[in-house]
Amino acid sequence: MRRPSAETLYYGLTFGLRMPTWVVMAVYLVRTLHLSPLQLVLMGTAMEGAVFLFEVPTGVVADTYSRKLSLIVGYLGMGTAWLAVGFVSTPWIVIVLWALWGIAYTFTSGAEEAWLADEAGAERASGIFLRAARFGQAGAVVGLLLQVAVGAASLRVGVLLGGAFTIACGLACVLLMEEHGFERRPREERHSPLREMRATATAGARYARAAPVIVLLGAVGLFAGMSSEGFDRLKEAHFLRDVGLPAVGHLSPVVWFGFFWLVGMAFGFVGTTYLIRRFERDGSAAISAALLGCVVFELGAMVLFATAWSAWAAIAGLLGVFLARDLADPLYTIWLNEQITDSSVRATVFSITGQADAVGQSAGGPVIGAIGNVWGIRAALLAGATALAPAAMLLARAIRRRGREPALEELPQPTS
């Protein structure tokens, strides 16, 4: 069987992995399982705590043994955990399952980017990351339509369908993924598994610490994680309990939220197309300024969403946050990938920055959830928005460094 190129498979995986939508899951958690604001946030906190504990070890697995193996384990685990949520009704079990989802996710974090850079070449990867964002947006639209159509009849079945999408991606990797760019050290040069993993982790940490822009981007991830946790877990509850939905027709909440996501994906697709053209014209110089603009725009949109007293104002803020995040994610990945010149620690460095995001979410989540329980969801959303201000300042500082690292010879090189 002829297997697709790395670029084609990456586009396909990006499409498939964006098909599971949080919309149906969120409505299921609020309307069917009746999770409180604190329980919703604790669900995310448990997931991010698991990411914090396992992010670097699993990134080391990808750098030491196999990117392909790491991705297969991750996708199958994520899909299984998502699927299992649809079979339970006890809040604490849902929280545990979402922590297991987070552990599985860490096997993919960093491994995806490292696999693509190895197979397609680090130079081509930046353009592929941007173009893949459009495939992801298209996948999100298709998945949204399917899950909302199913979820309108049965929220539980809609949740199960989301897990099946991710499991299908894992099976596709088993059948179609090739791994030629990554090579383990010859058997005679290998040490014990624990020693190999420790050496890779140490090398990746030394590399990240010695690169100022990587340190700054990690700090940006920390504050962005603190900001995102409250919004991600409480946005649907904000509509259902505070603002209300537009009095147009007799549409169910899952249909409304599906419509919001659909419009957001359309905006993201148009915005990403603009970014691709600008990247092709201006190169990497456009990446950092565009990323800063996205963060500032997201901060304003989150404040609007939190303070809105009409459904239409809240929708405008919600769509603004969706657009900013859709554009910021590939920009962040491109900028970080360009700072890593050593493929042998690429997945580990990505995992270290991912761990910073997990720290932000796991540390900020309980605080935001407690604020929501005491002062209401609006106060919790505003508290989350304020965390983006330090992220914007750190990005501005990174831009002043012109996004450049020390010379290659100044960076620590991995040792066996």
CATH number at residue 15: 1.20.1250.20
Q: Does 62 map to a domain?
A: yes
pLDDT of residue 205: 67
Q: Whose structure tokens read 């099976």?
A: 171
Q: Does 73 map to a domain?
A: yes
Domain count, the chain: 1
Question: What is the pLDDT confidence band of residue 305, given thresholds at 50, 70 and 90?
Answer: very high
pLDDT of residue 175: 93
Q: Does 385 map to a domain?
A: yes
* Most distant CA pair in the chain, distance: 70
- By residue count, the chain amounts to 416
Q: Does 416 map to a domain?
A: no
How far is the C-alpha of 84 from the C-alpha of 43, rounded, in Å? 14
Q: Does 206 map to a domain?
A: yes
Give the range with max mean pLDDT: 238-247, 385-394, 404-413. 385-394
Question: What is the pLDDT confidence band of residue 416, given thresholds at 50, 70 and 90?
Answer: very low
Q: Does 11 map to a domain?
A: yes
| Nearest partner of 86 among 149, 142, 157, 35, judged by Cα | 157
| pLDDT surpassing 70 at residue 186 | no
Q: What is the pLDDT of residues 14-25, one digit of tens each?
A: 999 999 987 788
- The 10 Å Cβ neighbour count of residue 163 is 22
Question: What is the pLDDT confidence band of residue 302, given thresholds at 50, 70 and 90?
Answer: very high
Q: Does 184 map to a domain?
A: no
Range of weakest confidence among 6-10, 29-33, 143-147, 184-188 = 184-188
pLDDT of residue 171: 96
- Residue 372's domain comprises 6-178+196-405
Q: Does 191 map to a domain?
A: no
